[in-house]
Amino acid sequence: MTTAPQVGWSFLRTRRWIGYFALLIVFSIACVWLGNWQFERRAEARAEIARIDNNYDAAPMTLSDAVPSFTDFDEDARKWQPVELRGQYVGEEYLARNRPGVNGVGSNLLQAFELDNGTVVFIDRGWVPVSGTDVVPEGLPAAPEGETTVLARLRASEPEIPGRTSVGRFVPSINGTELAQVAGLEEDVYTGAYGQLIEEHPAAETGVLAVRPERDEGPHLSYALQWYVFILIATIGLAYGARQEFRSFNAEGESVRREDERRAERKRKRGPSDADEEDALLGS
């Protein structure tokens, strides 16, 4: 006896379709996570734009007012804030290696600046085309000697890079604590922040100074919405597949039903067969 195919939406309870629904749920969760990650990236970009707008062209502050703590720095409030420093450059130059620049990979030129009150902050005097960690070349841009006024923008001390260490006067990052150790400075050193040079008086040769950062929040919003569109597309695709299968099952079921009706009609017209009469006699 032939079993009639499934009719209606009952096929949605099969293991195959339950698996499809489970995959859709997992896919949707992943898309939501990725979409929210892009929203967070956009929020970070917009916060950076706000810092640029608020601080980049602000009036210069004193370092002690802008950075009350030697070890901590409020990046949200003070990143890009100009500060005016008076004092003198001290010690040797150091090079933060592996920095992209106008002519490829080079280094950022760093030197300690001692303020008139005896505190010390490191100044990034620009990018120079020096790569490698072997020997500091001759002819690096020399800082002014004696009393100097420096205008710089504040940046947060960079984190240490795991597995990378200082080699001579080359450092892996602009990390205030590591720079202080390499330079042999122990007290009254600003390790939470450093200054990105704008100008200095008397003027001296510098590396390539940093340019104004772009006010660009990037494509994060479109990427975030894209992940939610993927959920919609997947849902529509699954619904379309279910609809097609529904039509297929019901078309097949309707075909079987009609064949049964035709068979019953032929049987009625022929009358009862010998087997049917024997069954009737046995049942009586």
* 95-117 confidence digits (pLDDT tens): 999 898 887 899 999 999 999 99
| CA dist., res. 179 & res. 124, Å (int) | 12
1's CB contacts (< 8 A; 6+ apart) are: none
pLDDT of residue 14: 84
Tell me the residue type at 16: R
Please tell me the predicted confidence (pLDDT) of residue 283: 56
pLDDT value for 270: 67
DSSP string for residues in 12-51? GGSHHHHHHHHHHHHHHHHHHHHHHHHHHHHHHHHHHHHH
Which amino acid appears at position 256 of this protein?
V
**How big, in percent rounded to 5, are the helix, strand and coil portions of the chain?**
45, 25, 35
Q: What is the dihedral sign for C-alpha 131, 133, 136, 137? A: negative
Whether the model pTM is above 0.75? no
The pLDDT assigned to 243 comes to: 83
CA-closest candidate to residue 9, choices 210, 217, 242, 222: 242
pLDDT under 50 in the chain at which residues?
A: 1-4, 256
d(CA 58, CA 52): 9
In this prediction, residue 13 carries a pLDDT of 81
Q: What is the pLDDT of residue 101?
A: 85
